[in-house]
Amino acid sequence: MGTTLLPGGAGKYVLGIDPACPRCQEPLTAPHMLLHCPNHKAQRDHLEAALHSHGLVFNLTNVLDPREQLGARSSLPSPNTY
């Protein structure tokens, strides 16, 4: 994953940005927000259930683009449609 505009990524390059998550003080990166932060647990639980209903495990690859793993049998909308 490349650099993001999240403080955990931008904080390395922009002075005055706190790169820590305000909830748990871990680096505020996309993997932290999507997979680990307790602040987003309720949303993550729904996402994990949706992935499991399609036979997918909950990991960063499937969170970012589950269609890549499903291939031709994908009935999921494109991530760009939202």
- Residue 3 is predicted with a pLDDT of 57
- Residue 42 is predicted with a pLDDT of 95
Residue 30 to residues 20, 57, 68, 74: CA-CA distances in angstroms? 12, 18, 19, 24
Residue 53 to residues 46, 48, 56, 75: CA-CA distances in angstroms? 11, 9, 7, 12
d(CA 66, CA 42): 19
- Residue 22 is predicted with a pLDDT of 85
pLDDT tens, residue by residue, 15-73:
667 778 888 988 888 889 899 999 999 999 999 999 999 889 999 988 888 777 776 45
- Residue 7 is predicted with a pLDDT of 61
SS3 of residue 20 by DSSP? strand
Instruction: Please tell me the pTM assigned to this model.
Output: 0.63
Radius of gyration (Cα) for the chain, nearest Å?
15
Mean pLDDT for 4-16 is: 61
d(CA 52, CA 54): 5
